[in-house]
Amino acid sequence: MTTDHLLANLFPGANEIPEQFRLPAPIEQRDYLVDGQLRTWDGPLAQVRSPVQVSGPDGDAPVIIGSTPLLNAETALTALDAAVRAYDRGQGTWPTLRVVERIQHVEAFLRRMREQRDAVVKLLMWEIGKNLQDSQKEFDRTCDYITDTINALKELDRRSSRFELEQDTLGQIRRVPLGVALCMGPYNYPLNETFTTLIPALIMGNTVVFKPAKLGVLLIRPLLEAFRDSFPAGVINVIYGSGRETVSALMASGKIDIFAFIGTNKAASDLKKLHPRPHRLRATLGLDAKNPGIVLPEVDLDNAVNEAVTGALSFNGQRCTALKILFVHEAVVDSFIEKFNHKLATLKPGMPWEDGVSLTPLPEPGKVDYLHALVADAETHGAHVVNRNGGVSRGSFFYPAVLYPVNPQMRVYHEEQFGPVVPIVPYRELETVIDYVLESDFGQQLSIFGTDPAQVGKLVDTFANQVGRININAQCQRGPDTFPFNGRKNSAEGTLSVHDALRVFSIRTLVATKFQAHNKDLISDIIRDRASSFLTTDYIF
Ligand code: G3H
């Protein structure tokens, strides 16, 4: 297929969009959620432009799918005040509610959320260009995450319902909330990644200010009523606008206790610095990554290629866990590239709702130009685009470019491209790859492809202190969500998993007494009379 054919029918005419995937009219969103009320913003709005374009007689035109509120700092602070009031220095209804009741609120939310599946999935496609199947997967995975979180909390609570006796000290240990959480997610998983902090924060008894990602904002709108109706006033507040205007003010207030953020390490550092009492701020951060895939000379090449293609290019490479640089041993690099390109050529470009589509337009403004610049820079330093049609673009769409041979002079060797550019570095000595990992500013994950136990085993040991997860003969990924997800260096702060997130958003409180008759009697009476909701042996089934 020539370049012309490949992208000739990429963007549909307005009438060619299937009925069920059309958006009836631009959505002008003025609502935001503060203190249990949907309030109306009458200030400026941010336009929401879809990565999907429509073709017409005058060429391709962008599609404006709506607008969202651009709150100012003063309004954002009203959301913070509501969260602070609802927490009420730890005495509010929500932080003192029994765990079983908090779980009921989250279950009520989940029921309402499920009703919005179609609306959210459609907006995921239109706002960030994620294909239908992956959009549905994102929604369903998020619902599963909520269910798993509820079950993990029940288990935690069951374990905390017993007393422990150590060295004549009787104690009961429970995890309790920390305060007010600020939750912000990324545009590539605007629902899932945000909810993997938001839900644990809420269920552990914190109150929350949630600001959706820079893209993928309208898709939160169908959930606002569910948030409003499922939680007491002020427990969850949803604000919109530029991070610089709103989030800076929240952090500078010193009233945020937990900062849950997925984005760049630079933005995270800038925001953390604004907090006047950094020792009181707990942060859980998912940041930049440049995960390498390492292909050894003894390897199942077909498997390595399959994993590398999905690892590098699913959702157009816009995953923090994507394989962002491939080191391939010179003995196999030619066959690897041939097979890689063959597989890549089977990936279908198109609109997110089309059957079997995996390459879709990119939502970030300026992204296509940025990727062209990365390719041009690599070419200047001796790389070539080695796949057919690599790097051709049309509007917001960029066809994946495989760059070879890549070397350290090139920007793409160091920068996280977060898009469909696949740099391949040939190597002879493993030291080249080991040095790359050891010197890297990032430390999220890596993949090793090989079949020789001695070589793979040695590399595992070499990298065990470098990254949070080593994948053998498999692409990098976050799931399963019960496994720890973290990173070193500039890649993350803290560890998330269903279980770990409950820990991140809480702290243990211990109630202890000397193991003496009068104390035992006192504790027994408290339990019998139900005089405390902390000191209790109640068991959640
Ligand atoms: O963007 C980063 C995501 O956490 C990656 O999750 O590996 O399931 O795509 P994933």
In angstroms, what is the span from residue 440 Cα to ligand 1's centroid? 20
CA 268 to chain centre: 14
The closest-lying atom of ligand 1 relative to the alpha carbon of residue 188 is 1
In angstroms, what is the span from residue 374 Cα to ligand 1's centroid? 23
Q: What distances in angstroms separate CA 113 from CA 21, 121, 126, 215, 475, one per listed residue?
A: 20, 12, 19, 20, 31
Dist CA 451 CA 453 (whole Å): 6
In angstroms, what is the span from residue 321 Cα to ligand 1's centroid? 5
Which residue's C-alpha comes closest to atom 2 of ligand 1?
320
Q: In what order do the strands lie in the sheet with 164-166?
A: 164-166, 169-177, 506-514
With a 6 Å cutoff on the Cβ, whether 479 touches ligand 1 is yes
Dist CA 71 CA 43 (whole Å): 7
In angstroms, what is the span from residue 477 Cα to ligand 1's centroid? 6
With a 6 Å cutoff on the Cβ, whether 193 touches ligand 1 is yes
Dist CA 287 CA 205 (whole Å): 26
Question: Quick one: pLDDT at residue 195?
Answer: 98
The closest-lying atom of ligand 1 relative to the alpha carbon of residue 319 is 1
Which residue's C-alpha comes closest to atom 6 of ligand 1?
478
In angstroms, what is the span from residue 232 Cα to ligand 1's centroid? 31
Evaluate the omega torsion of the peptide bond into residue 480 and state whether it is cis, within 30 degrees of 0. Answer: yes
Place of tokens 């243990």: 508
Q: Are 54 and 63 in contact (CB under 8 A)?
A: yes
With a 6 Å cutoff on the Cβ, whether 478 touches ligand 1 is yes
Dist CA 3 CA 103 (whole Å): 54
Which residue's C-alpha comes closest to atom 7 of ligand 1?
477
Q: Which of 356, 267, 448, 399 has the alpha carbon at shortest distance from 2? A: 399
Dist CA 340 CA 336 (whole Å): 6
Query: Judging by DSSP bridges, how do beta strands 258-262 and 323-329 pair with one another?
Result: unpaired
Angle (CA) 212 214 218, round 5°: 60
| Cα within 13 Å of Cα(296), Cβ side | 22
Q: Are 289 and 445 in contact (CB under 8 A)?
A: yes
In three-state secondary structure terms, 115 is coil
In angstroms, what is the span from residue 89 Cα to ligand 1's centroid? 35
Query: Judging by DSSP bridges, how do beta strands 258-262 and 282-286 pair with one another?
Result: parallel
* Burial status of residue 383 (CB atoms within 10 A of its CB: 0-12, 13-18, 19 or more): buried
Other CB atoms within 10 A of residue 129 CB: 25
Q: Which residues pair with 426 in a beta bridge?
A: 328
Residue length, the chain?
Answer: 541
DSSP 214-254: SSS-GGGGGGHHHHHHHS-TTSEEE--S-HHHHHHHHHHTT
Q: What is the pLDDT along the chain (541 residues), one digit of tens a residue?
A: 445 678 999 999 999 999 999 998 999 999 999 999 999 999 999 999 999 999 999 999 999 999 999 999 999 999 999 999 999 999 999 999 999 999 999 999 999 999 999 999 999 999 999 999 999 999 999 999 999 999 999 999 999 999 999 999 999 999 999 999 999 999 999 999 999 999 999 999 999 999 999 999 999 999 999 999 999 999 999 999 999 999 999 999 999 999 999 999 999 999 999 999 999 999 999 999 999 999 999 999 999 999 999 999 999 999 999 999 999 999 999 999 999 999 999 999 999 999 999 999 999 999 999 999 999 999 999 999 999 999 999 999 999 999 999 999 999 999 999 999 999 999 999 999 999 999 999 999 999 999 999 999 999 999 999 999 999 999 999 999 999 999 999 999 999 999 999 999 999 999 999 999 999 999 999 999 999 999 999 988 8
pTM: 0.96
In angstroms, what is the span from residue 271 Cα to ligand 1's centroid? 23
Longest dimension (CA), the chain: 89
Q: Which of 499, 481, 483 has the alpha carbon at shortest distance from 145? A: 481
In angstroms, what is the span from residue 499 Cα to ligand 1's centroid? 17
With a 6 Å cutoff on the Cβ, whether 189 touches ligand 1 is yes
Question: Quick one: pLDDT at residue 3?
Answer: 55
User: In 429-516, where does DSSP find H-type helix?
Assistant: 430-439, 453-463, 498-504
With a 6 Å cutoff on the Cβ, whether 145 touches ligand 1 is no
With a 6 Å cutoff on the Cβ, whether 13 touches ligand 1 is no
DSSP category for residue 482: T
The full set of domains in the chain, from first to last, is 31-53+62-286 (3.40.605.10), 291-486 (3.40.309.10)
CA quadruple 35, 40, 43, 47: dihedral sign: positive
477, 483, 497: residue to mutate for ligand 1 pocket, most atoms within 8 A of CB = 477
With a 6 Å cutoff on the Cβ, whether 321 touches ligand 1 is yes
DSSP category for residue 260: E
Please name the residues in contact with 36: beta carbons below 8 A apart, sequence gap of 6 or more: 82, 228, 231, 232, 233, 234
Dist CA 216 CA 48 (whole Å): 9
**Residue 412, both tokens:** 């793409």
Q: Are 283 and 276 in contact (CB under 8 A)?
A: no
The closest-lying atom of ligand 1 relative to the alpha carbon of residue 186 is 1
With a 6 Å cutoff on the Cβ, whether 122 touches ligand 1 is no
Which residue's C-alpha comes closest to atom 8 of ligand 1?
478
The closest-lying atom of ligand 1 relative to the alpha carbon of residue 318 is 1
With a 6 Å cutoff on the Cβ, whether 188 touches ligand 1 is yes
